[in-house]
Structure 1
Amino acid sequence: MSYPETLDGWLDLLESRGGASIRLGLERVAAVRQALNASSDALIITVGGTNGKGSTCAMLEAVLIAAGYRVGCYTSPHLLRYNERVRVDGRELDDAALVAAFFAVEQARGDAPLTYFEQGTLAAWHAFCRQPLDVIILEVGLGGRLDAVNVFDADCAIVTSVAMDHMDYLGGTREEIAFEKAGIFRPGRPAICSDPLAPQSLVAHAREIGADLKLVGEDFGFSGDRTQWVWWHRNGTRRGGLAYPALRGANQLLNAAAVLMALECVRDRLPVSMQAVREGMLLVELPGRFQVLPGRPSVVLDVAHNPQAAGVLAENLSNMGYFPETWAVLGMLADKEVEEVFRLIAGRVDHWFLAGLPGPRGLSAPALAERLRSAGMTGDVQCFDGPTEAFAAAQKSAGEGDRIVAFGSFLTVAEVLRAVRSARR
């Protein structure tokens, strides 16, 4: 059989095999990993949770790079290019390296069926193993216990938050979902949870397996004023005079506190100075997480697609100051809690520009409008074929002092970001 020679060719091949499918379970991935025969001495930090995973990974990556370590970072999904998912020292892996990694996994898998995400996870691992890395950061795709990333044993694991999302796969209650996410914890190793209301199932599982559990508010935490913040550890350690992370939003201090707890836990292997912490937090970047673009009207991009994230977005919008009108560009997938997302953020929006999304899970704009009307949406509502058209219309309608908020699915934010970058060329 001939194999693709380009990255786009590989991604098309994986999609044609049922790339959108989800098959939870570690047996197939573990078998292919063993056949891949790729290993690394790097310390592994795994990050799971409903929201905040990407921000936490980005902060860890930025601080560790600032400290002089060689860092591999695997995240998902991507916004504009698949290469965003696999980075070494903050730089995206090039197409040639990814093509070589996909080919290696293909040779190792034999007849084992792998999903798009599983093959991508193993390809990232293979690519990392060909580099002399000090630390590898892995972001969980879905859940934790049965996610492909969990085939790698974490030296330190972080669960950022637990909320209702992916219930078809993870369970219908917060306690059930928390148990799945706690599956990334390992006996005798640091297990950090930065959810202020850690579910009992997560705590019980960590203690049952003998993980070294660290809970925000009990074992570590933070305080701050308008200009700086302080991190504290129950052992008496304090880190003060910290500038706020470059990632915007009040929730980012929870993520930053978990990052400092993780660094404290692994300091014997990866000591990090406070100068590196300050530098990394100031330089960290992550598109699509309450990203405020320069210019007028103000444009906010946020991949808030579940109720917890929508609540955080609503709070962050309220802290931005006064805007005469707010224009929302929204596109959502059908399996999300669309009505609850709307209820949480409706009070911050004056005009709704609804965008249809492609694929079997994407909601058309009229279908999205119908679901939002059932949740009580009234007033100015317009429907568009896609995010590009909805965003262009919002730009024409918004006044110079207004605000445009493009949010919902990664697909929505990616298309708007692509349109913004294209217009600037």
Structure 2
Amino acid sequence: MKYKETLDWMFAQLPMYQQKGKIAYKDKLDNSINFALHLNNPEKKFKSIHVAGTNGKGSSCHMLASVLQEAGYKVGLYTSPHLKDFRERIKINGKKISKKNVKRFIAINKFFLEEHALSFFEMTVGMAFHYFAEQKVDIAVIEVGLGGRLDSTNIIVPEVSLITNIGLDHIHLLGDTLEKIALEKAGIIKKGVPVVVSETQAETKGIFSMLASQKKSSIVFADQKDIVVYPTDLLGKYQTKNVKGVLACLKELTGFKIKKKHITKGLLSVVKNTGLLGRWQQLGQEPTIICDTAHNKEGLALVLNQIKQQSFDKLHMVVGFVNDKKLDVILSMLPKDAMYYFVCPNVPRGLQVKKLRQLARDFDLNGEAYKSVLEGFQFAKSRAKKNDFLYIGGSTFVVAEIV
């Protein structure tokens, strides 16, 4: 198969959570364990850092990878979802896996994948781990896809585990309280492996401490430590919490020589070193145009607070969502004095734009519905004056259509 045919087969034949939701979620690790065995257990052939959390885990992964690259190491980076290109999920020192490698991996393992009906995520994790082992990376930074305990990535035994924070996201799969979700995320804590928590939360601190104690793992709550926060090229003041977690994580990482200069340069070169997109990313000036992939209550609260700190005449918001979010909570948070351009991301889970507009009107949010993300974005740009502020977000998939 050609590369496009390979991707079409991966996307179409096997369910993918980011596109299809709950039907793609598997509640056990058997497939991941069996596939790893089939691949000769590549996850045992490289060192790793495992990163979970509701918000900030992607940014934290990219920061960690950038610092380790600056220290001279060959660094694998596995993240999800991708914005533009599937290959963004699997990188070494910022370079995406080649199309040739993707095609070859699927071709060689296609019979096994079909026979065992692996999910999109299970096969992609296997691809990443095989690639990192084959390429002999010094260390890989591995982002949890969903939850932790039952996530396909949770077959690794890392050098350090990092949990950024806990929020009410994917409650239909992970639980409807912070405590229940924390139990799922804490599933990445391994016996004797140090764990860092970026953000202390009253509802979850006891759970993390208890599970770390049971596993005889040391635990550090980064925001309770006297940590000097280095600047980063990832814009948005909300990154401060992520930086603290990253710095505490690096301190727990033994066997790697990381100096202050590596941290300084690494945190200031995250985008250049890793190719990260969509985190308070500036797309234009006069008017200021910002996009951000925040898509749940906690993440959007940080972004909305950042918007409040900007100086502008009029706020324009191009927003769209997927249909499994608690929109009542999210819509109640959005500023009522903005001009809205309601859109629907082009994925099966996208919330229909007419329904979104109707829901938004119940919260006194005024605006029109548009046929596509691009059309809404273009209308917003045509109406915004040079001293205005234009924001695009609400879903990773909305951002993916314009970056």
Same-fold call, TM cutoff 0.5: yes
State whether structure 2 residue 46 is matched by structure 1 residue 46. no
In the alignment, what sits opposite 1:327? 316
| Structure 2: distance between partners of 1:346 and 1:103 | 50
Aligned counterpart for 1:13 among listed residues 9, 22, 27: 9
Is the CA contact (8 Å cut-off) linking 1:32 and 1:105 kept in structure 2? no
Counterpart pick for 1:30 among 30, 33, 39:
33
Structure 2 partner of 1:366:
354
**SS across alignment from 2:381:** helix
- What's the TM-score once normalised by structure 2's chain length? 0.93
Per-residue deviation, 1:356: 1.9
- Aligned residue for 1:389? 375
Q: Secondary structure at the match of 2:8?
A: helix
Counterpart selection for 1:124 from 125, 128, 146: 128
Local SS of the residue matching 1:162: coil
Aligned counterpart for 1:293 among listed residues 254, 261, 283: 283
Q: Equivalent residue for 1:165? A: 169
TM-fit CA distance, 1:22: 1.7
Superposed CA offset, 1:278-300 (max 9, x none): 00011112211111224221101
Match of 1:112 among 116, 137, 140: 116
Q: Does 1:344 align with 2:348?
A: no
Distance apart, 1:203 and its partner CA = 2.4
CA distance, structure 1, for counterparts of residue 385 and residue 302 of structure 2: 25
Tell me the amino acid that sits aligned with residue 215 of structure 1.
F
What does the per-residue CA deviation read over 1:212-243, in whole Å, with 9 as the maximum and x for residues that have no partner? 1111233x344xxxxxxx15xxxxxxxxxx3x
Match of 2:217 among 193, 211, 214: 211
| 1:252 aligned to which of 218, 239, 247 | 239
Deviations 1:363-394 (A, max 9, x none): 111111122223x124x311001110000000
Corresponding residue of 2:260: 274
Aligned residue identity for 1:288: G
The residue type equivalent to 2:208 in the other structure is L
The alignment of Structure 1 onto Structure 2 pairs a total of residues equal to: 389
- Can you give the 5+ residue segments of structure 1 that lack an aligned partner in the other structure? 223-229, 232-241, 418-425
Partner deviation per Cα, 1:147-192 (whole Å, 9 max, x = no partner): 0010122221111010000011100110000000000011111111
User: Cα distance 1:13–1:96, how it changes in 2: closer, same or farther (>3 A)?
Assistant: same
Q: Percent identity?
A: 29
Deviation at 1:110, TM superposition (A): 6.4
3-state SS, counterpart of residue 394 of structure 1: helix
Superposition deviation, residue 261 in structure 1: 1.2
Counterpart for residue 107 of structure 2: 103
Equivalents in 1 of 2:243, 2:123: separation in Å?
30
Which structure carries more relative contact order (alpha carbon 8 Å, separation 6+)? 2
Aligned-pair distance for 1:101?
2.4
Distance 2:376 2:67 in 1: 37
Q: Which amino acid aligns with 1:341?
A: I
When you count strand as a share of all residues, which structure comes out higher? 1
Give a deviation string over 1:56-94, Cα, whole Å, max 9, x none.
Answer: 011001100000000000000011111111100111111
Distance 1:32 1:358 in 2: 31
CA RMSD in angstroms comes to 1.6
**TM-score calculated relative to the size of structure 1:** 0.88
Match of 1:404 in 2: 390
Give the match's secondary structure for 2:191: coil
